[in-house]
Amino acid sequence: MTPSLAIAVLALAVSVVSFVVNRRAADRAERHGRMPVLIPRVWDQQEGCIAVRNIGSGPALNVTIAHPLDELIDRDALGIDLTKARYRAMWDGFMHLQPLESGAECAYEWDYRRGIGLTCTDALGTYYTTLATTYGTKVVDGRAMPIRRFTELEYPEFCLDEGGQPL
């Protein structure tokens, strides 16, 4: 192999690697640009209510709320690998929430039990899950809860102000 051919092959290899790295970075940036991020908080204006706010860039669709159980509420949230299959059985009380556009917040009647789980999809169907407990909050790509059919889930009631309007 001549020196000029070796340099050309090396330049081609560097170009291919550079292209792959840049393509992956662009895909991640595009996904994060449409990613919803749901943050729950215990509603301080009315007992028995929880507010869910979308602080992400895109709408949150197909939203499910549930109670985390066992290890999910007893351990530091950041130390839990929600992608492990054993955690799929540690959820209870599933309900379906309305879609939330970026920046929107809704308050629902919800019995807070030291933790809340929220799963949603973005506009292209990619799943995201939030686990928020007394011991931290974690947002992950993917669905960490078992699959429930929305036809089997009920909507919680909206929390209402004194005039009967949703908070």
Cβ(141)–Cβ(81) below 8 Å: no
In terms of domains, do 81 and 147 share one?
yes
Classified as helix, coil or strand, 138 is strand
Give the structural domain span for 93. 36-152
In terms of domains, do 137 and 65 share one?
yes
Predicted local confidence at residue 94, as pLDDT: 96
How far, in Å, CA of 23 to CA of 18, rounded?
Answer: 8
In terms of domains, do 42 and 26 share one?
no
Residue 139's CB: how many other CB atoms inside 10 A? 19
Predicted local confidence at residue 164, as pLDDT: 72
Cβ(109)–Cβ(156) below 8 Å: yes
Q: pLDDT truncated to tens, each residue of the chain (167 aa)?
A: 787 777 777 767 767 766 666 566 555 655 556 699 999 987 665 678 899 999 999 999 999 999 999 999 999 999 999 888 889 999 999 999 999 999 999 999 998 888 999 999 999 999 999 999 999 999 998 899 998 999 999 999 998 877 777 77
pTM above 0.75, yes or no: yes
Smallest CA-to-CA distance from 59 within 123, 143, 150 is with: 123
Smallest CA-to-CA distance from 36 within 100, 108, 107, 95 is with: 100
| DSSP single-letter state for residue 158 | B
Predicted local confidence at residue 36, as pLDDT: 95
Q: What secondary structure does DSSP assign to 32-80, as a single string? A: HHS---EEEEE-TTSTTEEEEEE-SSS-BEEEEEEEE-THHHHS-GGG-
In terms of domains, do 18 and 57 share one?
no
Quick check: is 159 in a domain?
no
Predicted local confidence at residue 114, as pLDDT: 87
Smallest CA-to-CA distance from 109 within 60, 45, 38 is with: 45
The CATH number given to whatever domain includes residue 129 is 2.60.40
* Structural domain total, the chain: 2
In terms of domains, do 103 and 21 share one?
no
Quick check: is 160 in a domain?
no
Quick check: is 89 in a domain?
yes
| Burial degree of 107 (CB within 10 A; 0-12, 13-18, 19+) | buried
